Structure 1
Amino acid sequence: MFAIDFEASCLPRHGRSFPIEVGLAGVDGARSWLIQPHPDWTGWDWTAEAEALHGLSLARIERDGLPAHVVLDQLADAVGGRRVVADSLIDPYWLDTLAAAAGRAAPFAIDHVATLMDERQVDEAQISAAVRLADQRCPTRHRAGSDALWLASVMALLWPDVAGSRSARMPLMSR
């Protein structure tokens, strides 16, 4: 199982939003990809609020980002058919937006972590304890790789039998 997180040009409530970074994490580390803005996204919104939150400028993602099809291919290869979980309901939208820019359907589904919590019958005390420990282990937030690693840590604390399997190990990769 992997955790996924996207950073975006803005939140949808501020306008038309596109993904700028995606992170994927297992128990041992995370990978992240900067996403070059696709020509189809020209004229879509960018907010100073989002930039201040994630610290990525439009100039940086234009310069250092990879084309949508490259990111999607590498992301699909990294997932390798495993279950992918997010803690935001908007992440499937950004995956679909990335996939559409690459000219194909999303290569996997994203489940919300609440679904997993319901399946595993986790209570509030367990969730609170896992979140506190993950906050200590992953203090840096609002970058896709670190946010995915935070969620992978929560999942590993709650479900070591699932999240801790060797199949979910991800080599750490620099941004």
Structure 2
Amino acid sequence: MKDIGIIDIEASGLHFDSYPIEVAVRVRVRGECKSWIIKPEPSWEYWCTTAESMHCVSREELLRDGLPAVEVVKQLNAFLAEPDVILYSDAYRWDGDWIDTLYFAVKIDKPFYVDSIYDLIGNDKADQFDKHFSRLAESGKYRHHRAADDVEMIYQAYCQIMG
């Protein structure tokens, strides 16, 4: 089976001025997941308290504990290791925009593409995927709206319906 990657990004809000605060990627064959907390760039100012209440990461925590955006990009590129990878997301338009914001900020070319997990699984299995994902989110085993756990739930739901 061709290796697939899954990506999830948490952000400062759902606004055109929002920016990525956490990114996680899982590569299926390696079975490895990596995540990074991102220190906001100086020009990244927008903050939504509603988003904070969902992901439970404060801006102060990002400033204190986050890695600089350039370091996140370098580590993410090294983790992926091969060019032209497709990373699948359950919210690819948002995640694609936020990953573009991250790479644009550090002026490094992005060596991968973000696409929809729904395009990968097909319309006929979308409802099954959503049901599996919802069960996982409600199980108490994962922290929904944290990138690494969301990646794992996407992966587990994908495996459930694709075998």
TM-score scaled by structure 2? Answer: 0.83
Question: Would you say 1:148 and 2:151 are equivalent positions?
Answer: yes
Provide closer, same or farther for how the CA distance between residues 49 and 80 of structure 1 changes in structure 2, counting only shifts above 3 A: same
Q: How does 1:58-69 map to 2 (within 5 A)?
A: 58-69=59-70
Provide closer, same or farther for how the CA distance between residues 108 and 125 of structure 1 changes in structure 2, counting only shifts above 3 A: closer
Question: Would you say 1:91 and 2:95 are equivalent positions?
Answer: yes
State the distance in 1 between where 2:140 and 2:158 align: 13
Q: CA deviation at 1:123?
A: 3.0
Residue-pair matches, total = 154
What SS does structure 2 have at the residue aligned with 1:146? helix
Which structure has greater strand proportion? 2
State the distance in 2 between where 1:78 and 1:158 align: 27
Question: Would you say 1:127 and 2:129 are equivalent positions?
Answer: yes
State the distance in 1 between where 2:131 and 2:62 align: 36
State the distance in 2 between where 1:156 and 1:23 align: 18
State the distance in 1 between where 2:128 and 2:120 align: 13
Provide closer, same or farther for how the CA distance between residues 130 and 106 of structure 1 changes in structure 2, counting only shifts above 3 A: same
Question: Would you say 1:34 and 2:37 are equivalent positions?
Answer: yes
Q: CA deviation at 1:111?
A: 0.8
2:20 counterpart letter in structure 1:
P
Please name the residue that 1:117 is paired with.
121
State the distance in 2 between where 1:138 and 1:106 align: 32
RMSD of aligned residue pairs (Cα, Å)? 2.2
Any gaps of 5 or more consecutive residues in structure 2? none
Tell me which of the two structures has the higher relative contact order, counting C-alpha pairs closer than 8 angstroms and 6 or more residues apart: 1
Any gaps of 5 or more consecutive residues in structure 1? 161-175
TM-score scaled by structure 1? Answer: 0.78
1:2 counterpart letter in structure 2:
G
Question: Would you say 1:105 and 2:109 are equivalent positions?
Answer: yes
Provide closer, same or farther for how the CA distance between residues 72 and 126 of structure 1 changes in structure 2, counting only shifts above 3 A: same
Q: CA deviation at 1:152?
A: 1.2
Identity %: 31
Provide closer, same or farther for how the CA distance between residues 29 and 149 of structure 1 changes in structure 2, counting only shifts above 3 A: farther
CA contact (8 A) 1:24 1:149 kept: no
